[in-house]
Amino acid sequence: MGMSFNPPYPAGTVIKGKWRGNRYVVQRVLGKGANGTVYLVQREGRREQYALKIGNDTLELQSEINMLTSLQSCKMRSEHRSRREMPLSSYLLESDDFGDTGNIPFYVMRYVEGRPLHHFLAKRGASWLGLIGMKLLEELNKLHVCGFVFGDLKPENVMVSDYGHAELIDYGGASPLGRSVKQFTEWHDRGFWNAGSRVGDESYDLFSFAVLCLRLLNEAGLKAAAGQLPQTRNVDELLKLARNLPDKQLGAWLCVALKGGFAGSAQAAKVWKEQIYSKRQQRMETMATPAWLKGAFALSLFVLVFTLYWVFF
């Protein structure tokens, strides 16, 4: 316990591990979560940047480290099996303690550069949702296959690079499948909407994912629905929002997710791929010809006819 509400460490602070001896230099604060503060750091004497999380509470942080460790080993096994030549995307690089008394816990992870999903979409437009959603559903599925649920899925916990590469950050809310979800955010919580239990199952993450989409596409509508009395707050309100989206196929997908209708995240990802992600190319093919292009075409035809007439007659 204790240790919470400390002011953040200033840039230049050196964090030296008690057990493993590695030294990290603080560059700036990346964010504050429920269980601690995340800093951008550099390994002393090296160029690479990492994200380093300092916990408020030894127990909570250790619990998170345990979860990341088993996730890591599960991921390594599956990557080994599929023999894919990809850089090991580490959730967890190392964990250690520091401080004068040596009992402030921290852990180091890969630094994911980018901006939170809601900022990204506000800037780039909703047309990116098909691609980003695809990646997120694949990430969730990987997590589920390893026996965990993410729990606290919301736009703030999704980092998107400038090129639309999305990653989940902050696994503090993750818990083993079948256990109670210990960290969640009102709007994204299935229980909040009277739409089911708070037991962490695959549908729980898919429900949060659906609310995330609604929030990105119609935040005002979601806010109005959430503002109702707890007794009358209802998943039907969310279904209505989903059906009213201009993209009907996305709306239909969201309705299934909100009702817990997918067998799991693998199926949900498959359907997303078929009906939302792949639809983009079709739309390109059937895209309406702009009026100016038709005009230009007509004009060039006319010029051609005129030229032919002029040449031959």
Interacting residues with another protein (CB under 8 A):
1, 19, 58-59, 62-63, 65-66, 69, 95-97, 103, 105, 178-182, 186, 191-192, 197-200, 229-230
Considering the complex, state which of residue 53 and residue 135 has its C-beta at the smaller distance from another protein: 53
Closer by beta carbon to another protein, 204 or else 277: 204
Looking at beta carbons only, is 42 or 185 nearer to another protein?
185
SS3 109: strand
Rounded-to-5 percentages of helix, strand, coil across the chain: 50, 15, 35
Whose Cβ is closer to another protein: residue 113's or residue 156's? 156
User: Do residues 48 and 109 touch, judged by C-beta distance below 8 A?
Assistant: no
Q: Are 45 and 68 in contact (CB under 8 A)?
A: no
Q: How far is the CB of 213 from another protein (least distance, A)?
A: 23
Smaller CB separation from another protein, 4 or 278: 4
Query: Would you call 128 helix, strand, or coil by DSSP?
Result: helix
CB of 69 to another protein, least distance (A): 7
Give the integer Cα–Cα distance in Å for 301 and 289.
17
Tell me which H or E stretch contains 260.
none
Residue 232: CB minimum distance to another protein, A: 12
Compare residues 199 and 256 and give the one whose CB is closer to another protein: 199
How near is the Cβ of 187 to another protein at its closest, in Å? Answer: 12
How far is Cα 174 from Cα 91, in angstroms, rounded to an integer? 13
- Separation of alpha carbons 276 and 269, rounded Å: 10
Minimum separation from the CB atom of position 197 to another protein (A): 5
CA atoms lying within 13 Å on the CB side of residue 70: 15
By the 8 A CB rule, do 64 and 54 touch? Answer: no
- Give strand pairing partners of 158: 168
Question: By the 8 A CB rule, do 150 and 143 touch?
Answer: yes
The smaller minimum CB distance to another protein, of residues 69 and 267, is found at 69
Q: What does the alpha-carbon distance between residue 149 and residue 181 come to, in Å, rounded to a whole number?
A: 8
In the chain the first and final C-alpha atoms are separated, in Å, by 97
Answer yes or no: 152 catalytic.
yes
- For 242, the enclosing helix (H) or strand (E) is helix 235-243
User: In the bound complex, what is the minimum distance in angstroms from residue 38's beta carbon to another protein?
Assistant: 20
Active-site residue (options: 96, 152, 189, 205): 152
Helix (H, G, I), strand (E, B) or coil at 51: strand
Cβ neighbors of 129 (< 8 A, separation 6 or more) are 121, 213, 216, 217, 250
Closest distance between another protein and the C-beta of residue 67, in Å? Answer: 9
User: Which amino acid is it at 21?
Assistant: G
Catalytic residues: 152
